Amino acid sequence: MAGKDIAIQGVDGEFKGYFASPGTGKGPGVVVIQEIFGVNAVMRTIADEFAARGFFALAPDLFWRLEPSVQLTDKTDAEWKHAFDPMGRFDQSKGVADIQATVSTLRATPGCTAKVGAVGYCLGGLLAYLTAARTDCDASVGYYGVSIQDHLAEAGKIRKSLMLHVAGKDQFVPPEAQKKLIEGLKGNPHVTIHVYPEMDHAFARPGGAHYDKANAELANGRTATFFRQHLS
């Protein structure tokens, strides 16, 4: 079944999200949290793939206050420049509030089991971490999240399961930041961290400059198992 854009009611107003349903019409939910490129073809494909595996998937447009419906690729310098503009102005706290609204929208969807997870990439990886700390989401996964090491004061608020996929050679998360992240979270029993030593940022983005099929499949398999454990 093809996905569609739907309206999500947030605390600051209505915004859109890309919604894909499982063929069975029932199952848990998953919030797909965007990269800096918006709810583009990559995010929509991820949502479709989750729907094919039995989830209600919803990717909210978190840049709606700045530039609604932006859809960029990672293929040109101009698009990269464009993408970093809303990233620089983005209010993370409002973004997390929008994710909470998205979780609530999924829980209210007919057929949803009321168990809802979240998975995010890049900027979305950071937001997945903050989602685990600040929302009632049941389980969260972050891929190569940026700046998580700057938010470790919130680690104690994480009461639901969180899995982080860390790229060992991430150009946006240097070794000292990774060390701080791992040290800061190792005492939390709810957190699982997987490190992919030779991988650069966005190694799981199909078609991206650093895409690595083997490691992407390993990370995605771990994510699938994690969600089966915590959302079923």
User: Is 60 exceeded by the pLDDT of residue 218?
Assistant: yes
Give the model confidence (pLDDT) of 62-95 as tens digits.
Answer: 999 999 999 999 999 999 899 888 888 999 999 9
170 counts as catalytic: yes
Q: How confident is the model at residue 134 (pLDDT cuts 50, 70, 90)?
A: very high
Average of per-residue pLDDT values in the chain: 96
HSE-CB of 103 using CA atoms within 13 angstroms:
21
Residue 7 has pLDDT above 70, yes or no: yes
> How far apart are the C-alpha atoms of 211 and 230, rounded to whole Å?
27
Is a pLDDT exceeding 80 seen at residue 1?
Answer: no
What share of the chain has pLDDT > 90, as a percent? 95
Residue 211 predicted with pLDDT over 60 = yes
Annotated catalytic residue: which of 201, 210, 212, 230?
A: 201
Element (H, E) at 80: helix 77-89
Mean pLDDT within 123-151: 98
Neighbours of 87 (CB within 10 A): 16
Give per-residue pLDDT as tens, 8-51: 999 999 999 999 999 999 999 999 999 999 999 999 999 999 99
Could you give phi then psi for residue 13, rounded to 5 degrees?
140, -175
For the chain, list the domains and their CATH numbers. Answer: 4-231 (3.40.50.1820)
Give tens-digit pLDDT for 41-58.
999 999 999 999 999 999
**What is the per-residue pLDDT across 109-126, written as a single tens digit (0 to 9) for each?**
999 998 999 999 999 999
Q: How many CB atoms lie within 10 A of CB 167?
A: 27
* Cβ-contact 36, 62 below 8 angstroms: no
Asked if 201 is an active-site residue, the reply is yes
CA atoms within 13 A on the CB side of 219: 28
Rounded Cα–Cα distance for residues 131 and 209 (Å): 28
